[in-house]
Amino acid sequence: MKPYIIFDMDGVIIDSESWYMNQLRNFFVSRGYVIPEKKLEEILGLNTKDIFDILKEYINYQGNIQYLFEKYLQELKFPNYQQIVFPNVQQCIENIFQKNIDIIIASSSPRKIIKQVLTDLNLDKYILFYMGKEDVKKTKPSPEVYQIIVRQQKYQKPLFVVEDSTFGIQAAKMAGLEVVAYYSGKFQNNQSQSDIIITNHMQLLKLL
């Protein structure tokens, strides 16, 4: 089989975590709750439902958290993905593809969002397949998504996984995979469990 690389999407391909963190912060502020930046950064990389479950305990919310979660989804606005793609991502992925290396996306986002991002950024033609939150029973930090991908690849491990969040790195390491952490400088994620830390996507090409 061809060698392959697994990319996370949020925080690696697009700066969606900044966008969603702002929306989450504003949503709670509008209801009288102030969530410290440090707490928001701690939960980066989790799926939105898990984030609400954690924040329910943090703010001691006594109401129906499912109702609050649904209200958030109703009010949620989606970014222009072309405006929040990280620098050099498209060039990096195209170069990896030209080296005859397969590219797989492992995200905790819904599949329809992943598809939209890849289409809007004109990256879909380079991607072998992608997996979203509907494809697993437990999202990151569970290693399930990575275990499924390795199994689908006939137990051939990827060259490495590209992650950014503490939970994503934990998931990949629990699956026994080598992890390259992308540090954007926007958040103080604990990336100490990763094997290598990069600050520019083009640095990935030197690892091939």
Residue 178 has pLDDT above 90, yes or no: yes
Residue 161 per-residue DSSP state: E
Whole-model pTM above 0.75? Answer: yes
Strands in the chain per DSSP E: 4-7, 102-106, 129-131, 161-163, 179-182, 196-198
Please report, for residues 71, 86, 172, 188, 189, the alpha-carbon distance to residue 197 in angstroms, rounded to integers and kept in the order given.
37, 16, 14, 13, 12
Amino acid at residue number 57: E
Closest CA to 166 of 12, 31, 10, 43: 43
pLDDT, tens digit (0-9, with 9 covering 90-100), for 106-161: 999 999 999 999 999 999 999 999 999 999 999 999 999 999 999 999 999 999 99
- C-alpha 93, offset from chain centre: 16
- Give the Cα separation of 208 and 206 in Å (integer): 6
How many residues make up the chain in this entry?
Answer: 208
Q: Which domains does the chain have, with CATH numbers?
A: 4-15+81-207 (3.40.50.1000), 17-75 (no CATH)
- Give the Cα separation of 197 and 52 in Å (integer): 29
Give the CA angle between residues 160, 87, 128 to the nearest 5°.
45
pLDDT, tens digit (0-9, with 9 covering 90-100), for 26-81: 999 999 998 888 888 888 778 888 888 888 888 888 888 898 889 998 998 889 99
